[in-house]
Amino acid sequence: MSLFAGPVRPLTRELNVTNNEEKINDRITDPHDPGRMTGAAAAVAAEELAKIYPGDIHAVKGISFAVEAGEAFGLLGPNGAGKTTTIGMLNTTVKPSSGRALLAGRDVTRDPIGARSVSSVVFQDAVVDRPLTGRQNLELHLKLWGVDTSVGRRRLAELTGTVGISDILDRPVATYSGGQRRRTEIVRALLSGPEVLFLDEPTVGLDTRSRHDLFDVIGTLRERTGVTIIITTHYLDEAERLCDRLAIIQSGTIVACDSPARLLASIGPEVLELRTDDAAKAAAVLRANGVEPDDVVVIGQTLTASLRAINGARALELLEDGNVPARSATARHPNLDDVYLRLTGGPILSPADRPE
């Protein structure tokens, strides 16, 4: 397979993960032959995928990753990062400008129908026939994917029961709530027994309760079907909760790719968050005491620093000794937002975008 011959390019910017012996690339290189990617056996493999839309819009700038069968892989990034475009190239509805991708070994450009037959998509916004009933929408999927009638009937009963939509199946989808519609779409996607399931921003527009219900539903369905999942999101909690591994994507480029735990570990054990009128001075004090420049991010009057060389208590002491005017200061455990901030120099969500 020419796609996987030749030297492996580094997939992501390497992280300063202290306790990380296993580099990111190891996950997709064959341990017995490091020069060869095991991507051919991977459920999803993307190599240098790029998309330039008309008008010279570089939406995706050559991204590579491989996802193992059964893995849940997240594309995490702000609106406009290129997540939907990436999913579009993988599901054959967006033509890559360059690069290649395989779904369960099928090339999305050369064998689009083959690639589509092993995958299903839950789109970012509703893609259903609203006047038709849930059952009609589901049965259409079964027929189009050529699922054997009795197998299809059994799966339909089982999956709709699992996610609790059996009672509403014979109502027009137009009468469903947002959460019910999403469940219907997820069930529909799984009816064909796909090897790869794409979920594009699955919980956008849902209330908190429905979001959490949906996390549970996705988790359950994953256990039951063993399907490989590619999920895009701009919600950190969602990424952390649903994904085994995350690619943080920023302006069409993957800036980091690892498990949520190891991404968090890359930040160090503690994070200092300081509200101050003199962020420059605070930053200078911290740097003078061994905090790496890359580990300090200033946005407005808020300074965030990942602490490795010194702990939180010591950092607060130093700031006090240095007469830094602080309005509030806390040392806390890091979260994915900190990882994101450190990698991109900005928060993933503007306050208005945060889920309630």
Partner 1 sequence: MTVTAIPAPILGKRGEKSRTKEVRAAPTLAMRRLALSVRNPRALVLPVMNPVLFALVIAPALANTVAGPAQQTTYMTFLALATMGLLIPLNSLFFGIGVVVDRQQGAMRELLVAPIRRSSIVLGNMMAAIAITSLQTVVLIGLSVARGADYVTSTHVLWFVGATLVYTVLMYSVAEVLATRLPTAEAYTAAIPVVAIVPFFFAGSLFPITALPGWLSAIAKALPLTHALALFRYGLTPSSGVRALHNIWGMTNVTAMAVLSAAVIAAYALLAFVAAVRLFTKAGTS
Ligand X SMILES: Nc1ncnc2c1ncn2[C@@H]1O[C@H](COP(=O)(O)OP(=O)(O)O)[C@@H](O)[C@H]1O
Which residues make up the interface to Mg ion (CB under 5 A)? 83-84
Exposure of 84 in the CB half-sphere (CA atoms within 13 A): 12
Residue 129 contact among Mg ion, ligand X, partner 1, none, beta carbon within 5 to 8 Å by kind: partner 1
**Does residue 291 contact residue 339 with C-beta atoms inside 8 Å?**
no
Residue 41 contact among ligand X, partner 1, Mg ion, none, beta carbon within 5 to 8 Å by kind: none
Phi, psi (rounded to 5 degrees) for 332: -145, 175
The verdict on 85 binding ligand X (CB under 6 A) reads yes
Q: How many CB atoms lie within 10 A of CB 282?
A: 26
**Closer Cβ to partner 1, 82 or 194, answer by number:** 194
Q: Partners of 231 in the beta sheet? A: 74, 199
Among the listed ranges 42-50, 70-78, 133-141, 245-253, the one in contact with partner 1 (CB under 8 A) is 133-141
**Does residue 243 contact residue 74 with C-beta atoms inside 8 Å?**
yes
Q: Which two tokens stand for residue 288?
A: 């003078």
Q: What is the DSSP letter of 39?
A: G
**Closer Cβ to ligand X, 27 or 245, answer by number:** 245
Q: Count Cβ neighbours within 10 Å for each residue of 171-207 and write b for 16 or more, e otherwise.
A: ebbeebeebbbbbbbbbbbbbbebbbbbbbbbbbebe
Q: How many CB atoms lie within 10 A of CB 354?
A: 13
The verdict on 158 binding partner 1 (CB under 8 A) reads yes
The verdict on 309 binding ligand X (CB under 6 A) reads no
Choose which of 94, 197, 264, 286 interacts with partner 1 (CB under 8 A): 94
> How many of the chain's residues bind partner 1 (CB under 8 A)?
48
Residue 82 contact among ligand X, Mg ion, partner 1, none, beta carbon within 5 to 8 Å by kind: ligand X
Among the listed ranges 36-44, 80-88, 101-109, 271-279, the one in contact with ligand X (CB under 6 A) is 80-88
Per-residue binding string, partner 1, 6-45, x by CB under 8 A, is ----------------------------------------
Share in percent of the chain as helix, strand, coil (round to 5): 40, 25, 35
User: 3-state class of 289 per DSSP?
Assistant: coil
Residue 224 contact among partner 1, Mg ion, ligand X, none, beta carbon within 5 to 8 Å by kind: partner 1
Among the listed ranges 79-87, 129-137, 216-224, 346-354, the one in contact with ligand X (CB under 6 A) is 79-87
Measure the CA–CA gap between 84 and 90, rounded to whole angstroms: 10
In the complex, which residues of this chain contact ligand X (CB under 6 A)? 53, 57, 59, 77, 79-85
In the complex, which residues of this chain contact partner 1 (CB under 8 A)? 91-95, 112-114, 116-121, 123, 126-132, 136-137, 140-141, 143-148, 151, 155, 158-159, 172, 188, 190, 192-195, 220, 223-226
